[in-house]
Amino acid sequence: MARARTIHGTSVSPGLALGPVHVVRAAPDAVPHWSVAEEDVPAEISRLRRAIAVAGDELLRRQRLVAEQTGERDAQIFAVHRMILQDPSAVREVEDALRADRVNAETAVHQLIGKLEQTLRPLEGNSVRSYSADLSDPWREVLAALMNVAQLEQVGQGKVILAAAVLTPQVVTSVERERLLGIVAEAGGRFSHAAVLARAFGVPCVVGLPGLLTRLEQGMQLAVDGGRGTVELRPSEEAIVDFEERRARLEERRASLAERAAEPAQTTDGGALGVSVNIESLRDFDIFDVSHSDGIGLCRTEFLYMERAQFPSEEEQFRMYRRVLERMAPKPVTLRTLDIGGDKRLPYFQTPKEENPALGWRGLRVSLEWQDLLRVQLRAALRAGVGRDLRILLPMVASLEEVEATRRIFDGVRASLLEQGWEVESDVPVGIMVEVPSVLFCLDTLLPKVDFVSVGTNDLVQYLLAVDRDNPWVSKLYEPHHPAVIRALANVAQASRAAGKPCSVCGDMADDPATAVLLMGLGYDSVSVAPYFLPEIKYAVRRTTLAAAEDLAREVLAQDTVEGVKRSLAVVRERLHF
């Protein structure tokens, strides 16, 4: 048996995990391929037929939606696509490939798509190329339906540590939360959307482990230290004992902090910082005590969409949002409108391939292009918000025109609900995320049009520094403690206070206790953090004074380098024993 070996990587999410590994070998967006035993071919054909049915249902839903919005003529393309999926010769061709080649359904469908495109590619003319797309697009829906459930079917039962080539949201969400012990990956950004998810789940996670997958076998025992950024392969009995002792001490400290986590985060000299949580799913309520939080500062609604095989209806969204609001009542809940794009894709919504998706079609840009999606979401949210403290947050805002356009849609949806006899709250605050640098220079015109602002530091940092946080070649340049970032944060707080508008930070910067103290000193009213960090943030605020936090802010703003900022924060961490 190979002796134990420790691999050093980059810490993404703290915590300790010990257990068997499940290797997710497919790279992001790649079509998974595996051989199928002869006796399993009928089950694979059943998977194919279920996926065709799911794709057909989704196409029918789109057909009806477009018919309602723009008329039957525009909706006809979806009827054609459904007919293509009902073509017995094409279905028979895929099933024959499953029997003859004994491959998985994804591979067989992918081969059919390639064949359809290859057959017509040499021919000239836009009409021919359009016809080629008409033939292959419905089968892409089938492929998406297959890949949406494939990961879950392969993992089996029991708790696991997931290993992947690249850390992606699909990897993080590929098994049920209660089964996920930890995550390790060869590559992935420390501040990527997937990393945000891992921290939100409180799951130990390490990335930056080149060649990891070649050293692993399914079921191999791993010991993951998310805080130190290490992964130990096949730990010895002695190492396991030491690991368990360290985990017991960590859990004891967390239990001690949790004892006072329900108390407000107030300083001894009258200062205060609201501390809310970021959530992705109703299941997040299982990992934190609602009495510890001042509310939900960010509900990432896109993950409610990602957990489904098709767009959730208005009624489905209403029920989801109502359950979130009721669980937190009477505390506020901030629902962010659909924020897809980049590495957050819906398997049933085909978005364009983009050279630079971080600067592409995402966030509010998608909502303003597909306004029916936004209207359905706002209708569901406003219906759910009756008698509750609901707030709406707009992502990826870049201009006053976008805010005004969204406000018109919001007002129209509200008026429509009232005309139809629905009860709607008279005052539902609408805020914007500060992520795009242009907003920093338009706050004087934007603040009168909104009710609050929330800084999404994860994207703001990458845009300010021109660093794609998902690009491993430059991710080391992604630095939240850059003096430009700190000064931008100070300007947002100052402008918001002058306008009398609440301001908060909901990005990962706020997860750090010392940085949370800094944000209070800069003038922020609140922060919203992953549930795992909530007790630490409250403890840090109670252990300081507002005067000390303001002194820290002045000291950090005077720094000219990243290292200078980090030194100032390190002193605070040492004082707080973090």
- Nearest-10 crossing angle of helices 105-120, 41-70: 60
Read out DSSP for 277-326?
A: EEESSGGGGGSS-GGG-S-EEEEETHHHHHTSSSPPPHHHHHHHHHHHHH
Read out DSSP for 491-548?
A: HHHHHHHHHT--EEE-SGGGGSHHHHHHHHHHT-SEEEE-GGGHHHHHHHHHTS-HHH
Q: How far apart are CA 128 and CA 520, in angstroms?
A: 61
Q: How far apart are CA 65 and CA 46, in angstroms?
A: 29
Q: What are the residue numbers of the active site? A: 193, 506
Check the CA dihedral 8-14-18-22 and report its sign: negative
Closest CA to 461 of 440, 443, 485: 485
> At 100, is the secondary structure helix, strand, or coil?
helix
Amino acid in the structure at residue 45 = I
β-strand 390-394 against 430-434: which pairing, if any?
A: parallel
Q: How far apart are CA 158 and CA 181, in angstroms?
A: 10
Tokens encoding 407: 């406000």
Q: How far apart are CA 348 and CA 307, in angstroms?
A: 11
Q: How far apart are CA 58 and CA 53, in angstroms?
A: 9
Q: How far apart are CA 544 and CA 377, in angstroms?
A: 41
β-strand 230-233 against 274-279: which pairing, if any?
A: unpaired
**E strands in 14-90:** 16-24
Q: How far apart are CA 200 and CA 292, in angstroms?
A: 15
Residues 433/456, Cβ–Cβ less than 8 Å: yes
Run of H or E residues at 8: strand 5-8
Question: What helix, strand, coil percent values describe the chain, rounded to 5?
Answer: 55, 15, 30
Place of tokens 């007790």: 535
> At 407, is the secondary structure helix, strand, or coil?
helix
